[in-house]
Structure 1
Amino acid sequence: MQAYEFINNLIPPLKLTDRVGKALAWMEEIRTDVLPVVHEGHFMGLVTDEMIYEINDPDLTIQDIDLISKGGFVQMDRHIYEVLRVSSEHHSNMVAVLDKEQIYQGVVTVEDAITAFTDSISIQSQGGVLILSMFMTDYSLYDIARIVESENAKILSSFISSDPLDDSKIKVTLKLDQTELRHIKATMERFGYKVIDHYQEEIGLSSEQDRLGNLLRFLDI
């Protein structure tokens, strides 16, 4: 699940000396609205079609544009999670991948990263989701798993995020292999855990849009 495994080789990098008209032609050909820019092997940032349209001069070169997401890159051995984090931080649907010498290797698209992420955390498996709220000091996946397993269920995957309603707490999202959650929810609450949300996964979802929807619900975004 390292970043270099998901490099999209169909997306070519632009040079600073390329004209913006060429950039638009490439974007249209590969059906994207953003392309990476590389100079002498080094990642310089991203250029979007919106930026080019605002300039409205096809003869200008890429170096005449103030590129975005100059820090939107990861090392090639970083986990795919890091790609999603950097993408979110820079509000970009494309993240550059660099080697140990900081040489550009390619880009990973958010779509490819989401596909890898959903495959890795059992998003597509049938089951239900519980979302707990607690202090970080109270978090123990071992204890939570023991309670879940006492109800003949298994945790397929888990995810921790900050609680937007209380900065001192975290949210723990659990994907379980059971769709009936009433008894599990009641048992968790009996042991003092606060269950702030739960839902049942639907069966038969397979499209990319469904995969994205499942991921966003799992992350509770």
Structure 2
Amino acid sequence: MISLQEFIIRKNKYFDLETSFSDVVDVLINKNLTHFPVVENGIFLGNISLDDAETFTQNNPIEDARALFEIFFVRETSFWFEVLELFSKHQTNIIPVLDKNNKVVGYYLFDDVIPFFNETPFLKEIGTTVIIEKDIYSYSISQVSQIFEINNSKILGIIISEVEGNIAQIIIKATSININEIIQSLRRYEYNIISEHIEDQFLSDLKDRSDYLDKYLNI
């Protein structure tokens, strides 16, 4: 599998504090970017967004917006899930890459790295996806993993995809031939099953009972 670091676009020209807002707007629109790094003597100061740049007097320097610079970046050694998390968290399509001295060595573009994410086992490998929900204070990743593993299932990945109020939604992808046993075990531990599975005997039993009741009422 190709290394994520091979997707770093290595440039040595970034915005500085004297760059005008009009230049920022022109560059970001032409390159279809949401943000771009600002540096001082090569040291990362933050990212200026297109939305912010458009609100200032265009001939002024971007130093006027320094308080609005957004601080997000990764290191050259960061793992792919850290990069993916920042793309999502900051609603951006560019992530600066810094060295140990906080100098910008390049950046990742969302469109460039998506093919890499598609090659991870979580997305590429054939398996069964189960989506569950539970209170954020009572769910346990180790407990969920154990439920899958004792049913001879190999987990390919677990992602907490959403947290709304006190409820966390968790996506598990795994190789499994015992999905019904896994689902029943999850229910015993009070996990709510969001995904639908044709192997789910619980739902099948409910449907059979409903069909029987309908038939009885229609006699």
TM range (shorter): 0.5 to 0.7
1:203 corresponds to: none
Relative to the length of structure 2, the TM-score reads 0.66
Of structures 1 and 2, the one scoring higher in RCO (CA 8 A, sep 6+) is 1
Q: Specify which of 184, 188, 193 is matched with residue 182 of structure 2.
A: 188
In 2, Cα distance between the equivalents of 1:29 and 1:101? 30
Cα–Cα, structure 1 residues 51 and 126, in superposed 2: closer, same or farther, change >3 Å? Answer: same
8 A contact 1:80–1:113 mirrored in 2: no
Query: What pairs up with 1:56-205 in 2 under 5 angstroms?
Result: 56-57=57-58, 59-66=59-66, 68-133=68-133, 135-136=139-140, 139=143, 141-149=145-153, 155-160=155-160, 164=164, 166=166, 171-177=169-175, 184=179, 186-191=180-185, 192-193=188-189, 194-198=191-195
Cα–Cα, structure 1 residues 165 and 63, in superposed 2: closer, same or farther, change >3 Å? Answer: closer
Larger Rg, first or second structure (1 or 2)? 2
Which string of whole-angstrom CA distances, capped at 9 and with x for unpartnered residues, describes residues 106-125 of structure 1? 22233444443332143244
Give the partner amino acid of 1:187.
E
Using the TM superposition, name which of 157-166 and 32-41 deviates more.
157-166
In 2, Cα distance between the equivalents of 1:96 and 1:177? 35
2:23 corresponds to: 22
Partner secondary structure for residue 65 of structure 1: helix
Relative to the length of structure 1, the TM-score reads 0.66
Give the partner amino acid of 2:120.
S
In 1, Cα distance between the equivalents of 2:141 and 2:77? 31
Cα–Cα, structure 1 residues 67 and 87, in superposed 2: closer, same or farther, change >3 Å? Answer: farther
8 A contact 1:130–1:174 mirrored in 2: yes
1:130 Cα deviation from its structure 2 partner: 0.7
Using the TM superposition, name which of 18-27 and 113-122 deviates more.
113-122
In 2, Cα distance between the equivalents of 1:190 and 1:124? 27
How many residues are paired up?
Answer: 189
8 A contact 2:11–2:105 mirrored in 1: no
RMSD: 3.4
Partner secondary structure for residue 130 of structure 2: strand
Using the TM superposition, name which of 154-163 and 103-112 deviates more.
154-163
8 A contact 2:17–2:38 mirrored in 1: yes
Which string of whole-angstrom CA distances, capped at 9 and with x for unpartnered residues, describes residues 9-53 of structure 1? 479521222222222332243232422111111111222332232
Partner secondary structure for residue 188 of structure 1: helix
